[in-house]
Structure 1
Amino acid sequence: MVSFFRKSVPAPVVARQPRLPAGLRVYAIGDVHGRLDLLDEAFGKIDRTELERPSERNLTILLGDMIDRGPDSQGVVSHILTRSKRRWMLAMRGNHEQYLLDFLDDPDILEEWGPLGAFNTLLSYGLKPNRAPTPEQRRQLSQDLRAALPPGHLDFYQNLPISFSCHGYFFAHAGIRPGVALDQQSPEDLLWIRDEFLGHRGPFERVVVHGHTPVVVPELLPHRINLDTGAYATGRLTCALLEGDDVVLL
């Protein structure tokens, strides 16, 4: 378990704290990874916060990797789709959602995706995969998954954005490549980058809010905020409330 988490090293950064405009509140949620139970708790905390201290406008952002590893990826996506009908929400693409999309077109990607939690996702959609499928079985699983996706799920996966800017914040699943303008970032970096981003010690154009790399406790640094606390393994799903120039963990 120790090797699962990255050790945080504080970075000497001089950065201006972003400020959201009055009346706007943002809730950012880290990597869910199939833990519908924890996502439901997070949504409950958001609802209680809004009941006790209502905001004029509030946006909930999920930072990607909503599926895989945990037991109920299908339930997580269904819950997000249902809630988005009555709340302002933005679900973002993570590398695990990208794997699912790639698998629909290239069944052989399962060799790479499988060890990263794919089989739990396939099971959640009612499939019964062989843990060591042959090439023909991979092709059949790909077809079966496409057929098993409930209405709206394929559109959900296909239309997930890979980045989002909001005033002084920039949201991306994995992070950004230092030295590259935010509007020039590559999809691969936004979904996958680690060391070059995490080890950067200077300010960015905006404070980057991300997940992807699990840490024992959320990292609230001047230039980036990491909200991935390894929910599927730890039972801790982190949600941050951004309002004005405050960052509060629910």
Structure 2
Amino acid sequence: MRSYAIGDIHGHLDLLKRAHERIAADMAVHGPAPVIHLGDLEDRGPDSRGVIGWLMQGIARGEDWVVLKGNHDRLFTRFLGDPWWEDPGLPRPLNWLHPRVGGAETLASYGVRAPADRPVEAVHADGRAAVDPAHVAFLEALPSHLLRGETLFVHAGIRPGVALAEQTEDDLVWIRQGFLDDARDHGPLVIHGHTSIDAPLHYGNRVNIDSSAAYGGPLTAIAVEGREVFHLTDLGRVPLLPG
């Protein structure tokens, strides 16, 4: 059973299209398979609106794509619902509009000004008016994980030792401590993003493919065959081995 996966996009439509080009080249050799996007479509990058719209259009025309929910996807929609909502995964005093989080860049892609000195209420009102409700509905409906064969796809990770049906969304979109430092076999191989690193790494029980597109790094695409993982490059497949 083959699957493809793409890491955290963060508003980089150009990188997303190139990742899909690498996947298309691999499919031309190995045949079609689902493409799973691990969430964080927006924030920090220049074209969050374009990323969301492009993925929605592809799914609407019948592409075999799955988009999972990341913490930034949740932060975006929750801000539009209530600008004072505090995400339990976001440490104070950070909020979605804080420069470290990147919400202002997302709103800018919709034509909304959100400088730090502008009242939150005004930014919220403009965001509600500018953001396409279809984009909000799309993001709110995203699943938090996908179990496919021997592989579990999820944005951040899982709470080790907890059954999949009992995992919380907070953990699935936010977890680091307790997951990243746990070397036990989780059953399925966990493919995740959320924690930025320089290049995709295979840890044996999990594979992190967030290669820091949010901070100027590349956007990783992989092919997964059973429990074998291949990094897709412009020159083709490169095995991604544990260790």
TM-score by length of 1: 0.84
What is residue 114 of structure 1 aligned with on the other side? 97
Q: Deviations over 1:168-220 (max 9, x none)?
A: 11111110011111111011100111011000011102111100001112111
| Contact 1:62 1:92 survives alignment (8 Å) | yes
Q: CA deviation at 1:108?
A: 2.4
Q: CA deviation at 1:130?
A: 2.7
Give yes or no for the alignment of 1:81 onto 2:50. no
Question: What is the identity, as a one-letter code, of the residue corresponding to 2:39?
Answer: G
The farther-off stretch of 180-189 and 79-88 is 79-88
Q: Counting helix residues as a fraction of each chain, which structure ranks higher?
A: 1
| Contact 2:156 2:173 survives alignment (8 Å) | yes
Q: Deviations over 1:47-97 (max 9, x none)?
A: 22223x141x41011101110011110011111112222310111110001
| Contact 1:69 1:232 survives alignment (8 Å) | yes
Cα distance in 2 for residues equivalent to 1:90 and 1:30: 12
What is residue 11 of structure 1 aligned with on the other side? none
Cα distance in 1 for residues equivalent to 2:137 and 2:70: 15
When residues 246 and 176 of structure 1 are mapped into structure 2, their CA distance, relative to the original with a 3 A threshold, is same
Q: Deviations over 1:155-174 (max 9, x none)?
A: 21111111111111111111
- Count of residues paired in the alignment: 222
Question: What is the identity, as a one-letter code, of the residue corresponding to 1:243?
Answer: E
User: Cα RMSD between the aligned structures?
Assistant: 1.6
The farther-off stretch of 180-189 and 41-50 is 41-50
Aligned to 1:195, the other structure's residue is in SS state coil
Question: What is the identity, as a one-letter code, of the residue corresponding to 1:204?
Answer: H
Q: CA deviation at 1:239?
A: 0.5
| Contact 1:172 1:190 survives alignment (8 Å) | yes
When residues 82 and 89 of structure 1 are mapped into structure 2, their CA distance, relative to the original with a 3 A threshold, is same
Give yes or no for the alignment of 1:217 onto 2:199. yes
Equivalent of residue 138 in structure 2, options 139, 153, 156? 156
What is residue 5 of structure 1 aligned with on the other side? none
What is residue 10 of structure 1 aligned with on the other side? none
Cα distance in 2 for residues equivalent to 1:35 and 1:203: 33
Q: Deviations over 1:10-46 (max 9, x none)?
A: xxxxxxxxxx2xxxx3110000111111001001111
Q: CA deviation at 1:150?
A: 2.9
What is residue 118 of structure 2 aligned with on the other side? 133
Equivalent of residue 98 in structure 1, options 74, 92, 99? 74
Equivalent of residue 175 in structure 1, options 157, 161, 167? 157
Higher RCO by CA contacts (8 Å cutoff, separation 6 or greater):
1
What is residue 6 of structure 1 aligned with on the other side? none
Cα distance in 2 for residues equivalent to 1:95 and 1:207: 21
Question: What is the identity, as a one-letter code, of the residue corresponding to 1:87?
Answer: E
Cα distance in 2 for residues equivalent to 1:89 and 1:48: 16
Aligned to 1:232, the other structure's residue is in SS state helix
Question: What is the identity, as a one-letter code, of the residue corresponding to 1:70?
Answer: G
| Contact 1:38 1:235 survives alignment (8 Å) | no
Give yes or no for the alignment of 1:41 onto 2:18. yes
Cα distance in 1 for residues equivalent to 2:184 and 2:153: 18
Equivalent of residue 45 in structure 2, options 70, 85, 93? 70
Q: Deviations over 1:135-165 (max 9, x none)?
A: xxx2232232222223621221111111111
Cα distance in 1 for residues equivalent to 2:177 and 2:118: 33
Cα distance in 2 for residues equivalent to 1:92 and 1:231: 17
Cα distance in 2 for residues equivalent to 1:193 and 1:225: 15
What is residue 148 of structure 2 aligned with on the other side? 166
Question: What is the identity, as a one-letter code, of the residue corresponding to 1:189?
Answer: D
